[in-house]
């Protein structure tokens, strides 16, 4: 198994957010994490990255227990993180943002990796632009490019389509599908759009109140399941 | 007539470069690591004593003492960061108190080791001459100060904007969590930054020891002005450069019109008035840290 979480609980201060979450992600698959706002989807990804105050349980990546490792050490196992709100460094240029991703690589590269700019022509033409000046969709592309600069084995995407104009949503969806299916990069994706989840996902987990309420192959993500856990 | 206008302006730049040399290390540590380092003046003092010791025991030439003071105080800064400051990030008030404590310990230790009498640093011959260029007349040491300020500034710029370490430092400053998520060890970056800032103070100490005298309490004099420059500049390195040059010129012009004491007084009043109406400083990025 590529990534395995074993009864993971995690905390902000003393407040328990995730409650004994366990699941497995096979290599090269795409897992969609679903649920309403505030059920712990973002926390789940932050927990894998080691950005929570305290986490108990076991997180295994390629057979290594990474839960005892610092965030920067985890990144070097080949995790590309695309956080909620994108978190582009706005004072950096596009080039510097992408170069930031290369610090998690094992090899030292001096230039922007080709894949990052080949996928997003806009970034290629604007490498020396301040990233803070980019539009939301462009920043999202930059966030994906930055994560790809890691040369990742797994991508963690936190609502990549949130607040982005529809034509770019389709584009990002196609890019992710290509990365997952053609390049074999394992993907964990939190999503509000059920359509997107059905298109990209191999498996899903449905979360509520910090726990997994339902899970399985994406075929089992029926309208009843969605209705039960996601309507407000 | 022309000389009486140009000479104060050149003097102003040299005052500005003194201010910049004393404030640069503080700006680096505050700007990149967010630590208000109350021991900055004592780092300057340690730089002066390092130079004095190297000179009086080994007879090291003054120009070589400057980089040595940089490394010695840099190492001291590194040890202090690893053993004390690194536990106090994100707790500004605690770092303030802790670094103040460090400053007292350093001051008393140097008093115990070196005694509280005045020490002097010998300067090479060519720095204690006067240079006359037509109608202009200035001391070579003043010019040397300007050169050192520019060199230290260039080294800082180069490290921050032209090296991988610089990208790491600036990434950690902007967003520590994101930097860590892309493989940057923030704790290590903070240590190196703190050591570098301390080293800059050490180099400053070598200069100031030669400029005036070496005393265990000499740091207090420089730290006040250093803080003023960083605050007036808005906390960034560029702002500090700007504030130092401007303050140097203003002080020199006032000194030309009135006298030295009056000039310093007026400068401080100007800074207070400026901060009353522009508390964020001259150049402010306007964004909160972390």
Structure tokens at A106: 């094992």
Instruction: Name the pLDDT band for A110 (thresholds 50, 70, 90).
Output: confident
Domain positions in chain A:
26-50+76-230
Q: Which of B111-125, B127-141, B273-287 has the highest mean pLDDT?
A: B111-125
What is the spatial distance between Cα B93 and Cα A149, in angstroms, rounded to a whole number?
Answer: 38
Q: Say whether domain B2-277 belongs to CATH 3.30.420.
A: no
What is the DSSP code (8-state) at residue B175?
-
CB contact under 8 A, B182 and A104: yes
Q: What is the mean pLDDT of chain A?
A: 92
Q: pLDDT tens-digit profile of B194-224?
A: 999 999 999 999 999 999 899 999 999 899 9
Residue A21: enclosing H or E segment and its boundaries? Answer: strand A15-25
Percentage of residues of chain A with pLDDT beyond 70: 99
Instruction: Name the pLDDT band for A71 (thresholds 50, 70, 90).
Output: very high
Average pLDDT over residues A127-141: 93
Q: Which of A33, A65, A57, A64 is nearest to A158 (CA)?
A: A33
Inter-residue contact B28 to B198 (CB < 8 Å): no
What is the spatial distance between Cα B41 and Cα B230, in angstroms, rounded to a whole number?
Answer: 14
Residue A187: enclosing H or E segment and its boundaries? Answer: strand A186-190
ipTM, two decimals, is 0.92
Backbone angles phi, psi at B116, to 5 degrees: -100, 15
Q: Which of B177, B148, B193, B191 is nearest to B27 (CA)?
A: B193
| Maximum Cα interatomic distance, chain B, rounded to a whole number of Å | 62
Checking if the pLDDT of B288 tops 50, the result is: no
What is the spatial distance between Cα B109 and Cα A16, in angstroms, rounded to a whole number?
Answer: 48
Q: What is the mean pLDDT of chain B?
A: 91
Q: pLDDT tens-digit profile of B60-99?
A: 999 999 999 999 999 999 999 999 999 998 888 999 999 9
Q: pLDDT tens-digit profile of B119-177?
A: 999 988 888 888 777 777 778 888 899 999 999 999 999 999 999 999 999 999 999 99
Structure tokens at A65: 């227990």
Domain positions in chain B:
2-277
Cβ-nearest to B182 among A70, A91, A101: A101
**pLDDT value at position B285?**
60
What is the spatial distance between Cα B171 and Cα A98, in angstroms, rounded to a whole number?
Answer: 12
Sequence-distant (≥ 6) Cβ neighbours of residue A54 within 8 angstroms:
A10, A11
**pLDDT value at position B47?**
97
Q: Taking CB atoms and an 8 Å cutoff, what residues of chain A touch B171? A: 89, 92, 100
Backbone angles phi, psi at B39, to 5 degrees: -90, 5
Strands annotated E in chain A: 3-12, 15-25, 30-34, 54-61, 64-65, 79-82, 154-158, 186-190, 203-208, 211-217
Q: Which of B162, B181, B185, B236 has the highest number of chain A CBs within 10 A, making it the mutation to test binding with A?
A: B181
Q: pLDDT tens-digit profile of A135-175?
A: 988 999 999 999 999 999 999 999 998 888 888 888 889 99
Exposed / middle / buried, residue B248 (Cβ in 10 Å: 0-12, 13-18, 19+): buried
Inter-residue contact A2 to A62 (CB < 8 Å): yes
Distance from the A101 Cα atom to the nearest Cα atom in chain B, whole angstroms: 5
**pLDDT value at position B232?**
93
Structure tokens at B73: 């105080």
CB contact under 8 A, B168 and A103: yes
CB pairs under 8 A between A and B: 63
What radius of gyration, in Å, describes the C-alpha atoms of chain B? 19
Give the orientation angle of helix B40-53 with respect to helix B92-114, to 10 degrees: 30
Cβ-nearest to A71 among B167, B170, B181: B181
CATH class assigned to A26-50+76-230: alpha beta
**How many Cβ atoms sit within 10 Å of the Cβ of residue B102?**
20
Checking if the pLDDT of B290 tops 50, the result is: no
Q: pLDDT tens-digit profile of B216-261?
A: 999 998 999 999 999 999 988 999 999 999 999 999 999 989 988 9
Structure tokens at A88: 């582009």
What is the spatial distance between Cα A75 and Cα A48, in angstroms, rounded to a whole number?
Answer: 10
The contact set of A with B (CB < 8 A) is: 49-51, 70-72, 75-76, 81, 83, 87, 89-92, 96, 99-101, 103-105, 146, 150
Cβ-nearest to B174 among A89, A105, A150: A89
Inter-residue contact A52 to A21 (CB < 8 Å): no
Inter-residue contact B228 to B20 (CB < 8 Å): no
Instruction: Name the pLDDT band for A192 (thresholds 50, 70, 90).
Output: confident
Q: Taking CB atoms and an 8 Å cutoff, what residues of chain A touch B164? A: 103
Alpha carbon separation from B277 to B251, B281, B282 (Å, rounded): 21, 9, 10
- DSSP assignment of B40-103 equals HHHHHHHHHHHHHHIIIII---HHHHHHHHHHHHHHHHHHHHHHTGGG-TT-HHHHHHHHHHHH
Edge-first strand order for the sheet with A154-158 is A79-82, A154-158, A186-190, A30-34, A203-208, A211-217
Edge-first strand order for the sheet with A64-65 is A15-25, A3-12, A54-61, A64-65
Chain centroid to Cα A177, Å, comes to 13
Average pLDDT over residues B263-290: 81
**pLDDT value at position A72?**
95
Q: Taking CB atoms and an 8 Å cutoff, what residues of chain B touch A87? A: 175, 177-178
Distance from the B196 Cα atom to the nearest Cα atom in chain A, whole angstroms: 21
Residue B138: enclosing H or E segment and its boundaries? Answer: strand B136-139
Inter-residue contact B277 to B52 (CB < 8 Å): no
Instruction: Name the pLDDT band for B287 (thresholds 50, 70, 90).
Output: very low
């Amino acid at each position: 198994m590529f990534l395995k979480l074993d009864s993971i609980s995690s905390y902000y201060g003393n407040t328990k957010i995730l409650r004994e979450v366990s699941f497995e992600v096979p290599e090269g698959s795409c897992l969609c994490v679903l649920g309403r706002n505030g059920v712990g989807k973002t926390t789940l990804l932050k927990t894998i990255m080691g950005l929570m105050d305290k986490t108990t349980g076991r997180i295994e990546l390629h057979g290594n227990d990474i839960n005892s490792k610092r965030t920067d050490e985890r990144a070097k196992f080949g995790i590309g993180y695309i956080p909620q709100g994108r978190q582009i460094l706005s004072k950096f240029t596009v080039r510097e943002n992408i170069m930031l991703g290369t610090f998690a690589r094992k090899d030292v590269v001096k230039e922007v990796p080709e894949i990052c700019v080949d996928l997003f022509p806009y970034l290629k033409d604007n490498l020396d632009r301040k990233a803070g000046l980019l539009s939301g969709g462009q920043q999202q592309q930059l966030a994906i490019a930055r994560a790809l600069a890691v040369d990742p084995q797994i991508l963690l995407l936190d609502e990549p389509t949130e607040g982005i104009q529809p034509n770019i949503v389709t584009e990002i969806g196609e890019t992710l599908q290509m990365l997952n299916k053609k390049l074999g990069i394992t993907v964990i994706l939190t999503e509000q759009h059920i359509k997107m989840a059905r298109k990209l996902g191999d498996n899903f987990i449905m979360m509520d109140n910090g726990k997994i309420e339902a899970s399985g192959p994406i075929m089992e993500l029926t309208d009843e399941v969605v209705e039960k856990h996601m309507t407000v | 007539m022309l000389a009486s206008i140009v000479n104060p302006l050149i003097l102003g730049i040299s005052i500005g470069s003194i201010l910049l040399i004393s404030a640069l290390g503080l700006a680096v540590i505050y700007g990149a690591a967010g630590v208000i380092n109350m021991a900055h003046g004592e780092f300057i003092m340690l730089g002066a004593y390092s130079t004095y010791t190297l000179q009086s025991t080994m007879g090291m030439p003054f120009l070589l003492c400057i980089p040595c003071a940089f490394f010695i105080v840099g190492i001291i800064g590194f040890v202090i960061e690893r053993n004390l400051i690194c536990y106090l990030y994100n707790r500004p008030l605690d770092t303030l108190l802790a670094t103040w404590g460090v400053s007292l310990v350093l001051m008393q230790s140097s008093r115990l080791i070196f005694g509280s009498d005045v020490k002097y640093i010998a300067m090479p011959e060519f720095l204690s001459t006067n240079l006359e260029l037509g109608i202009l007349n200035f001391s070579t040491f003043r010019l040397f100060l300007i050169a050192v300020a520019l060199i230290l500034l260039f080294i800082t710029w180069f490290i921050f904007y032209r090296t991988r370490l610089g990208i790491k430092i600036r990434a950690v400053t902007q967003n520590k969590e994101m930097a860590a998520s892309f493989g940057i060890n923030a704790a290590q970056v903070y240590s190196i930054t703190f050591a570098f800032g301390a080293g800059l103070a050490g180099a400053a100490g070598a200069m100031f020891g030669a400029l005036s005298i070496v005393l265990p309490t000499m740091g207090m004099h420089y730290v006040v002005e250093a803080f003023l420059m960083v605050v007036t500049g808005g906390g960034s390195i560029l702002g500090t450069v700007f504030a130092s040059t401007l303050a140097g010129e203003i002080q020199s012009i006032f000194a030309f019109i009135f006298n030295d004491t009056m000039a310093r007084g007026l400068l401080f009043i100007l800074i207070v008035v400026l901060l009353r109406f522009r508390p964020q400083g001259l150049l402010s990025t306007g964004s909160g840290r972390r």
